[in-house]
Amino acid sequence: MADIIAFPARDSLRIIGAQAESPHDAVVPSQLRRLRRELEVWRQAVDNLDRCIRSDPSLASLAPECDKIRDLISATAAKLESPL
């Protein structure tokens, strides 16, 4: 799980880096809710950054990095939504 969260994250996101087969084995429901909220904050931040990058031709080479971060966020969200 720790390899999925490769983007800068708050300490509370790092809790799911515990060696567990599923994030549900490492966290309780209140932590899952908090992690989902934090992922949404990250998603919005990446969307805002992406808009800035794509609007400035001199920064266009950074667009693939935003896509990679968005993929990491989506993969993490999918792990959090996986059945218990």
> What are the pLDDT digits (tens) for 20-34?
455 556 667 788 888
Encode pLDDT of 44-64 as tens digits: 999 999 999 999 999 999 999
Residue ranges of the domains in the chain?
A: 11-81
CA distances from 34 to 27, 31, 58 (A): 11, 5, 36
**Per-residue pLDDT at 5:** 45
**Dihedral of alpha carbons 24, 28, 31, 36, sign:** positive
Reading the block at residue 62, the tokens are 């950074």
Q: Considering the entire predicted model, what is its pTM?
A: 0.62
Closest CA to 12 of 33, 57, 20: 33
